[in-house]
Structure 1
C-alpha cells in the first residue's frame, strides 16, 4: 500500500495548491467603520437614501430631512415640515424628491437642485416606506395603518391609484421592467404588483420569515433579498416565481441594501452589525460575515459608485418602565445623532 499512498498524498497536495482559496474559506468584505457624520438636531429617524451621482445623503430625522455631502458629511440643506418623516424617494430624471410624512399623512415634493418644497400630496394613513419606479415614472408610498399604497404620477404629482395590500406594507422595490414588489410585515408575504395596471399579480408566503421589513433587489438576476427582523432571517426569493432560494441568519434588521457590482446584500441590524450575504450565482448564495457598526443602526443606504454604506443611529439611555408602558423604548441622548460610514 505504501507505494500507492505516497502518490495519492502528492495528488491531494497539488489539488489543494491549485484550488481557489474561496472554496476553502469565504472571502471577507474588508469593510469597517470609516467615519461618522454628526447631525446635532434632535428627533427620531428611519430610512436613509444615498445618491452617489449628486453626492448627497438624505436622512429622515424627526420633522425634517437633513441633506449631507456624501464625502464630507457637511450639511447642504434641509427639507422642513416633514412631520414624522420615514423615507425619501428620488426621481432624478424629473429633478424631484419625495418624502413620506407618517404623522401628517402626506407626501412632500421638493426640488432636488434647490431643495425647495414644491407641493404636499395627501396619502393614506401613516405613509412609511416610499420609492420611485423609473419604469412607470410613479412614486409608491406604502401606508402602514391604512394598509395600502398611494401611487403618484411623478410628472403631474397627482395620485393615480390606491392599491389595497391586505396587510401592513414595509419596503418596496421595482425590477425596472414593470413589476413592483413590497414586503407585507404582519402577514409574512411578498406581494407582486403590475406597475401598469396597479393590480396585484401574486402573494407569496415567506415560509421561515417573520415580520419582513428591509428589501433590496438584484435586477440582473431577479433576486429579492428580504430582511425579516421578527426571526432575524434573510430570505432570498426568486422574483419571477416566488421560490425561496436561501435563508440566512442575520440580526434585528430593518433595512437591506444590495451592491450590484460586488454582488453583496447587506442587512443593517439594530444590535450593531451588518450581515453580508454574497450572491455567487443566480441560485447560489453564502453568508460572509457580520461587520461591527453601532447599536441602533438598523437602516441603511448605499452609494453604489463608491460601495460605501451609511447607517443612522444615536446614543440612548434606558427609560424606567411604568404601569402604562412596561417596556419603554430607550431615550435618545440629545446631540448624539449621527451617520455611521462603512466601507474599505
Structure 2
C-alpha cells in the first residue's frame, strides 16, 4: 500500500449531514516494537497486525499479546484458510508468502511469488491464496493444498487490492492506471478493465454481494461501481489519504480510513444507487489502513505518533515505541 506525507488538514465534504454515526475511539492497543505497518486483519478472537519484519498477534478484545510471527520482512498482509487451519503472510521484501499454523503460529513453509507481494486474500471460488504483486504487475495464485504456485495472472499495472464475488470473478484495483481489472478465475485471465472516472490511485476495495456494488477508495474520493457492468454509479468525497476501506454487510455501511487527515468517513448504502456520508469520525494522523470485525461491528486501525515540525516535502518520522492499534466502535 502506498505511504503518505502526513499533514494536519481539515476538510468539509459535500453531502455530509449533521447525523452522527455513533462510532468513536473506545480503546488503544499499544505495541512497543519498532517498524512500519500496512494491513491489519481479524480472525476469530485474534487481531493480526503487520509490523515491520513481524506479525504481532493480539487478543482482539483486550490487546494482550498472543504471539509474534517473526522474519516477515516487508510484511504487507495476512490471509487465512480455515479449512486447513493455516495463515499466510505476504512478505514484500522477500517476494514470498509464509504459511503458518493458526494454532501454534509456527511457520510451516514459504512460497515464492511475483515481485513485492502486497495485498493477500483467500479466494473462496478457486480456494486459492492470491497476492497482488506491486512491482511485477501480476497476481500470484497459491494452491494451499500443496503450497505451490498454481498460476500467475498479468493485470497490466500495479495491483493494490483484490476482492471476489465468490462466483469466479475477481476485481482488482490497479493503482497506477486508475482502473479496476476484472479477472476470470475459470480461465485464469484478465478479461476487462473499468476506468474509475476521475478516481485516482485506488487502494482499498470492498464488495457488497447483495447490491453488486464495488467501493474503491481513491484520493479524496470513494468511487462506487456496478460490479456487473463496470459502470460508475456514484462518487463520494472522503477524507485525504485513504489507504483502506471496510464494509459492514449487516448495516450496509462503508468506512474509509483517511490517514493523512486522521478520520474515518462513514457512508451509508441506502440502496444500490443511493449513498450518503453520515459522519467523519476523528481517529489519528497515520491511521490509513482498516479492518472490521463483522461479528462485533468493531473497526481496527494501526498508526503511531509522529515527530512535529517535519520539513515540507519530507516524510514525518515515527516516534519509536509509539506504534498502536486504534479500536473504533459504537
TM-score, normalised via structure 1 length? 0.88
Give the superposition deviation at 1:318: 5.1
1:267 matched to 2:256? The reply is yes
Q: Name the SS for the 1:317 alignment partner.
A: coil
Alignment partner, residue 33 of structure 1: 25
Equivalent of residue 226 in structure 2, options 223, 238, 241: 238
Q: Distance in 1 between matches of 2:279 and 2:295?
A: 22
1:176 matched to 2:162? The reply is no
Give the superposition deviation at 1:200: 1.0
Asked whether the 8 Å contact 1:311–1:341 carries over to 2, the reply is yes
Alignment partner, residue 212 of structure 1: 202
Q: Distance in 1 between matches of 2:143 and 2:209?
A: 23
Equivalent of residue 96 in structure 1, options 86, 99, 104: 86
Equivalent of residue 243 in structure 2, options 251, 254, 263: 254
Q: Distance in 2 between matches of 1:340 and 1:206?
A: 30
Question: Gaps spanning 5+ residues in structure 2: where?
Answer: 1-16
CA offsets per residue over residues 230-257 of structure 1, 9 Å max, x none? xx10001111110111101112100000
Give the superposition deviation at 1:202: 1.6
Q: Distance in 2 between matches of 1:105 and 1:300?
A: 24
TM-score, normalised via structure 2 length? 0.92
Give the superposition deviation at 1:72: 0.4
Asked whether the 8 Å contact 2:310–2:316 carries over to 1, the reply is no
The structure richer in helix per residue is 1
Across the two proteins, how many residue pairs are aligned to each other?
312
Q: Distance in 2 between matches of 1:120 and 1:189?
A: 31
Q: Trace 1:19-58 onto structure 2 (pairs within 5 A).
A: 27-51=19-43, 54-58=44-48
Alignment partner, residue 20 of structure 1: none
Alignment partner, residue 21 of structure 1: none
Give the superposition deviation at 1:179: 1.0
Task: Provide runs of 4+ in structure 1 moved above 4 Å.
Answer: 318-321
Give the superposition deviation at 1:28: 2.7
Equivalent of residue 272 in structure 2, options 279, 282, 306: 282
Alignment partner, residue 298 of structure 2: 308
Alignment partner, residue 331 of structure 1: 317
Alignment partner, residue 54 of structure 2: 64
Give the superposition deviation at 1:27: 4.4
Asked whether the 8 Å contact 2:19–2:279 carries over to 1, the reply is no
CA RMSD of aligned residues (A): 1.3
Q: Distance in 1 between matches of 2:248 and 2:154?
A: 31
Alignment partner, residue 11 of structure 1: none
Asked whether the 8 Å contact 1:149–1:163 carries over to 2, the reply is yes
Give the superposition deviation at 1:228: 0.3
- State which drifts further: 107-116 or 310-319: 310-319
Asked whether the 8 Å contact 1:318–1:329 carries over to 2, the reply is no
Q: Name the SS for the 1:94 alignment partner.
A: coil
CA offsets per residue over residues 126-149 of structure 1, 9 Å max, x none? 111111102211111111111111
Q: Distance in 2 between matches of 1:256 and 1:123?
A: 25
Asked whether the 8 Å contact 1:319–1:328 carries over to 2, the reply is no
Give the superposition deviation at 1:219: 1.4
Alignment partner, residue 175 of structure 2: 185
Q: Name the SS for the 1:213 alignment partner.
A: coil
Give the superposition deviation at 1:26: 6.7
